[in-house]
Structure 1
């Protein structure tokens, strides 16, 4: 990597960088930001901090375009270097390689198509695409012309798409005819058409041909990308953006039923994505890096696309799933492309642990140098399996903790540089000042302590707002403990000062590394005509980390017949899949006659969690419940 980007190469370097980031943050971040391409330098490095409004600014007054830093600045030295390797769902299909020069041309052509369709700076563009190269190209094309991209994971339902399109007031949608995901084929365009029946702001839909399927094209609205791109120029000037202009909106679940549109700005996000990528993974010039996340999630934004391209790295993009056509697919891809850095989720690791060990042992995996974990804390059993069988006990594991709202990695070992322990995220990155708080907001000093995790100073990629509703950002992140960003997670600091995340402290379930508000799933369940009320909690799941356990009250009470019960459970699952998508499908449904509520009507989720976990011997005080007998009934029903 270029020598002019500050790098941490030893534990001493880390300690020096961390101290400087706390004592002299302006000078520290100015030095980190200096090597990027700026149209105009900043007037101030940072401002705002965490007053209750939570309005941080970084590099205010600067002007830039993030794609000039991802693409243009690499062309002279890295024009012929691979930027993206695309590995298709079907191993028999040819993979695709794009150099930095080729990717630059594709992005410029896509940007010109968007211009021709009327997309302008500041417009919101919703992308609902498979994991194909055109998704990466389309994201960068939006950034090129100053449009705000909002990627929706192509597994969400039409209702979920409509909610996001309407909240962002998106005028443009980019989609495809269909997608492959393992053995399944999904008619993506049809799902989009269902959504857009409820989206009055959408003017144009750009459709990428992927599977060659016939699709309905609405005249005047829908156009094919392959037709629009014919004859367009291979160059496109990059729009000049202000440092604090929104780069993207990414929707995440909250404790209410309505998804939150997390907004990240241009300059701060760019600097953070690059700095964390280089240092956490200790990236070298010839690395082949593979992040298995879908670009529909923040991990795909920061560590499949922006981080690697900002650093001039080679990033592998995978269309498929870890178990198709068999449970050796990840390892086959690593050997095939000589992957050196591999970043995946504990859910994927646990699903592959369940398969015969021969699936791993059949491959050499000799190219691997660094392993990473993301999305949720990795349990010790999975950590040891990953370290032993994938890393051959020679690859450091970085167990990264961060959130959609933080924009990039916050707590992590730096590969081979800073201390790491199984199931511990590790030390904070330079610029990150974590604190443990009591429920009342008192700071807990010292090691061997546990509390609510908050961050007490701004960092470049902190969430700027929630789209169209800044009050919601204030209430969720900055008001609970004034002067800090509240993460919503509990954490433990061990005797060495390493942090271990111990789970959510609010009503959010982390399923396979993706957060869902309980209210969002309950709202979906309650759409079912059989259902009067529901309550959803998370419970430990061997593969997903947390599973979804739904307690459901029906219009006609608890059915006597097992067949009727099964029919209703299937119907409830169908409703959730239709409202949100398969990823939010409840793992267990228990039909109950009532829920444990306080006299004020609040559901005691603590009790429901204990029952779901099978820990019914220590339910605590139930005397405040309106009807304590309902708890015994729920326990019997679970058995």
Structure 2
């Protein structure tokens, strides 16, 4: 524990007792062009805003500041790509040069402060340069997972209306080359808005065909551009938009502002992750996730660390020792990834034989998040690494941890299944249906009393009404997380999962409601229900229960294959949609509500209560029998994982 820092309890309570004073002090730790006039304000719609009147530039904080203050020759970014057998290192000075020139190329294509740019790229250095170049210009970036289905990309293009889409010729998955340009072209064809320009990075594996009218070669544009300086922006101006699934099927554009975000990133590196300038920090994630934004790019660089950009998978690139090799080779102090990754490693290397090949003395802590870390995986990691394993919980909406073991303040005892205690600034409460706080060990809705601390979403992109409806309306005065959970007698928080139709598949938040829309579009399907069931590798995976139209002569394997293809085309492989089960009827209440929760409980082998309003209890027996015959679900033999 740092000598100047009080205990966790004292530090946390200070943040709630006087949030304005607490965050005003934290704001002095970043370099503003103009200091904020007011720390906390409320706008005309009743939404909270942090650091009004302050001006800054996030790219300056992440890059130029360090060049000016003695870190020009320190390595800022390590690109480690086992899929291409390539390692590249960029100092802060080199990073500044690359980003400034790319920003110049974007300006030549018409991008100015306040414009949007969509980034649809693999995990390559140019993707990081693109994010920072947008921040440098005061433009708003929106990163979309490379390889995401055209339908999903088109929705994001229509919502952001980008001046430029930055993409690449291909991505690489397990040495399988995936062309991106055809996917991008299809997305633009589907989108109502047509971006004026596409900046295409040509990779050696595939050369993409470019269209003269719209497409611009990335390398040529950068080579011909003049570098540009950082553009001052207001603290309340948006830095980026990142989309997350909503219950309507239409993704929600999470807005991140510049000022609150920068303060939160700096704060979290010091107090949550206990990382100092010059340390090597690695978040094995994707830039398409909030984790990639916060903890591959912005937080480590704002803190003056060396960050690692990893192109590969935890296994088969080339083996289950890849993570340990990178930690050892690059002397990583703190490592952060999803439990899914370690479940994959454990499956291929249960005795952790690969780990024995590497020296992990440099590693001080290992953080996991993105989904609940099951006690079995936590225990296995503790045993094989003999390091503190820190589970923590946050969301795309928050942008940084809400519940964690604040290792830069005080390392608290670990309790398997719990993400530990609330982080400073987050007043976490468990509420019942009427919005009343519940006592210890009573499960309810996980909510946060307003105001949320800096760095959290101030609203949704061009949709204040949906922001209010989605997060603030259920419990006035609180942010509703969408998760259920409880606190134990010691104040430790346990997150038990979503209470809406959004499921978590290997860290990807996906809407089962959206999947139902696509499944229902099949000409043979009369009605359907998609539920998320437990999966030992991915946390959850979707299973569809379908009722066929009368007279349809199609068997289960055939319709399953067709629906798998349909979901892959419309959402992408990230959905991990593998199973469709034909049933005579769906279980419903007499009012017509489909009993999705009960269906999930049957699949997960949990006890469940049959509602008194169910119209036909026998259908539950048919569902259980179908699951058992297919050996789908925790209660019916092995998981169907590959």
Residues 558 and 272 of structure 1: is their aligned pair in 2 closer, same or farther, counting only changes over 3 Å? farther
Among residues 2, 6, 10, which one is paired with 1:16 in the alignment? 10
| Residue aligning to 1:381 | 376
The Cα of 1:489 is off from its aligned counterpart by 1.1
Among residues 236, 248, 265, which one is paired with 1:256 in the alignment? 248
| Residue aligning to 1:100 | 92
Query: In 1, distance between residues paired with 2:497 and 2:471?
Result: 17
Structure 2 residue matching 1:573: 3-state secondary structure: helix
- Structure 2 residue 210 is matched with structure 1 residue 221: no
| Residue aligning to 1:427 | 421
> Unpaired segments of 5 or more residues in structure 2?
629-642
**Is the 8 Å Cα contact of residues 564 and 579 (structure 2) preserved in structure 1?**
no
**Is the 8 Å Cα contact of residues 128 and 152 (structure 1) preserved in structure 2?**
yes
**Is the 8 Å Cα contact of residues 397 and 415 (structure 1) preserved in structure 2?**
no
* 1:344-355 paired onto structure 2 within 5 Å: 344-355=337-348
Structure 2 residue matching 1:538: 3-state secondary structure: strand
Residues 557 and 18 of structure 1: is their aligned pair in 2 closer, same or farther, counting only changes over 3 Å? farther
Query: In 2, distance between residues paired with 1:258 and 1:522?
Result: 13
Structure 2 residue matching 1:347: 3-state secondary structure: helix
TM (norm. structure 2) is 0.93
The Cα of 1:626 is off from its aligned counterpart by 3.7
Length, aligned pairs only: 620
* 1:356-395 paired onto structure 2 within 5 Å: 356=349, 357=351, 358-389=353-384, 391=385, 393=386, 395=387
Residues 332 and 410 of structure 1: is their aligned pair in 2 closer, same or farther, counting only changes over 3 Å? same
| Residue aligning to 2:125 | 133
The Cα of 1:593 is off from its aligned counterpart by 2.3
Residues 533 and 472 of structure 1: is their aligned pair in 2 closer, same or farther, counting only changes over 3 Å? same
The Cα of 1:623 is off from its aligned counterpart by 4.1
Residues 557 and 596 of structure 1: is their aligned pair in 2 closer, same or farther, counting only changes over 3 Å? farther
| Residue aligning to 2:595 | 604
- Structure 2 residue 507 is matched with structure 1 residue 513: yes
Query: In 2, distance between residues paired with 1:544 and 1:11?
Result: 38
Query: Alpha-carbon deviations, 1:466-506, whole Å to 9, x = none?
Result: 21221111111101000011111112212221111111122
Query: Alpha-carbon deviations, 1:175-195, whole Å to 9, x = none?
Result: 000111222211011110111
The Cα of 1:13 is off from its aligned counterpart by 4.1
**Is the 8 Å Cα contact of residues 559 and 580 (structure 2) preserved in structure 1?**
no
Among residues 179, 183, 193, which one is paired with 1:187 in the alignment? 179
- Structure 2 residue 262 is matched with structure 1 residue 273: no
Query: In 2, distance between residues paired with 1:54 and 1:198?
Result: 37
| Residue aligning to 2:297 | 305
| Residue aligning to 1:582 | 573
The Cα of 1:547 is off from its aligned counterpart by 1.8
**Is the 8 Å Cα contact of residues 558 and 593 (structure 1) preserved in structure 2?**
no
The Cα of 1:622 is off from its aligned counterpart by 4.1
* 1:116-515 paired onto structure 2 within 5 Å: 116-199=108-191, 200-233=193-226, 235-323=227-315, 324-356=317-349, 357=351, 358-389=353-384, 391=385, 393=386, 395-415=387-407, 417-419=410-412, 420-445=414-439, 447-458=440-451, 459-515=453-509
**Is the 8 Å Cα contact of residues 124 and 171 (structure 1) preserved in structure 2?**
yes
The Cα of 1:557 is off from its aligned counterpart by 6.4
Q: Quick check: 112-121 or 331-340, which moved more?
A: 331-340
**Is the 8 Å Cα contact of residues 610 and 617 (structure 2) preserved in structure 1?**
no
Query: Alpha-carbon deviations, 1:133-159, whole Å to 9, x = none?
Result: 000000010111111100001131011
The Cα of 1:328 is off from its aligned counterpart by 1.4
| Residue aligning to 1:538 | 532
Query: In 2, distance between residues paired with 1:47 and 1:29?
Result: 13
**Is the 8 Å Cα contact of residues 54 and 478 (structure 1) preserved in structure 2?**
no
> Unpaired segments of 5 or more residues in structure 1?
1-6
| Residue aligning to 1:4 | none
**Is the 8 Å Cα contact of residues 280 and 398 (structure 1) preserved in structure 2?**
no
| Residue aligning to 2:635 | none
Query: In 2, distance between residues paired with 1:218 and 1:555?
Result: 44
Structure 2 residue matching 1:38: 3-state secondary structure: coil
Query: In 2, distance between residues paired with 1:117 and 1:377?
Result: 43
Query: In 2, distance between residues paired with 1:61 and 1:11?
Result: 29
Query: Alpha-carbon deviations, 1:117-138, whole Å to 9, x = none?
Result: 1112111111100000000000
**Is the 8 Å Cα contact of residues 432 and 438 (structure 2) preserved in structure 1?**
yes
**Is the 8 Å Cα contact of residues 8 and 14 (structure 1) preserved in structure 2?**
no
Query: Alpha-carbon deviations, 1:331-354, whole Å to 9, x = none?
Result: 122222122211010101111111
Query: Alpha-carbon deviations, 1:375-406, whole Å to 9, x = none?
Result: 012111100111121x2x2x222211000001
- Computed over aligned residues only, the root mean square deviation of the Cα atoms, in angstroms, reads 1.9
Query: In 2, distance between residues paired with 1:142 and 1:9?
Result: 39
**Is the 8 Å Cα contact of residues 371 and 396 (structure 1) preserved in structure 2?**
yes
Residues 310 and 120 of structure 1: is their aligned pair in 2 closer, same or farther, counting only changes over 3 Å? same
